[in-house]
Amino acid sequence: MPKIIFEKIIKADRKKVFEITTNYENFQKILPRYYPSIRTISIRGNVSVVEEHLRIGGKELVMMVKHVIDEPISHEIFIIGGDAKGTHITFRYEHVPNATKLIIEVDWKLRGVIKLNAFFGKNNILKEYSKIIDEFALIAEC
């Protein structure tokens, strides 16, 4: 899949948006529809390795994920094992008047049936991922 970049203006303070979107340990509680399971494997400074189950595009992806957090500027996600191994996602947080501009770069690396579904438009992964970001935005704006 091609690398995509999308932007979202969230009517909330950058610190709040950053805290909500980087608190992966809380994803299972705030977005259980998308994250049925999260298990932290290790944390060293600003780098964490986490086992994540992500429901997207009608499938459940099981992944080993490395989170690299540079507060409050960026959050990089490297999928180092599992169904989407090689995927790289970068969140950048920019302060704009009365809001936060969230810039997301996604380079999905999908395999097997999931790749075919994404390629042919059935259960579009990018649209589904955009819905997850919209839900994070709603939580931050409350």
Interval 44-87: pLDDT, tens: 999 999 999 999 878 889 999 999 999 999 999 999 999 889 99
Q: Which tokens belong to 88?
A: 């790289």
Question: Could you tell me the pTM of the whole model?
Answer: 0.89
Residue 129: other Cβ atoms inside 10 A: 20
Cβ neighbours, 10 Å, residue 77: 21
Q: What domains, with CATH codes, occur in the chain?
A: 4-141 (3.30.530.20)
Mean pLDDT (whole number) for 16-40:
96
Tokens matching residue 116:
């075919």
pLDDT of 88: 97
Query: What burial class does residue 118 get, using C-beta atoms within 10 Å of its C-beta: 0-12 exposed, 13-18 middle, 19+ buried?
Result: buried
Q: Are 62 and 53 in contact (CB under 8 A)?
A: yes
Between 105 and 120, name the one with better pLDDT. Answer: 105
Place of tokens 């986490």: 50
The CA distance from 48 to 51, in Å, is: 10
Look at strands 37-44 and 4-10 and give their pairing. Answer: unpaired
Going by pLDDT thresholds of 50, 70 and 90, the confidence category of residue 119 is: very low
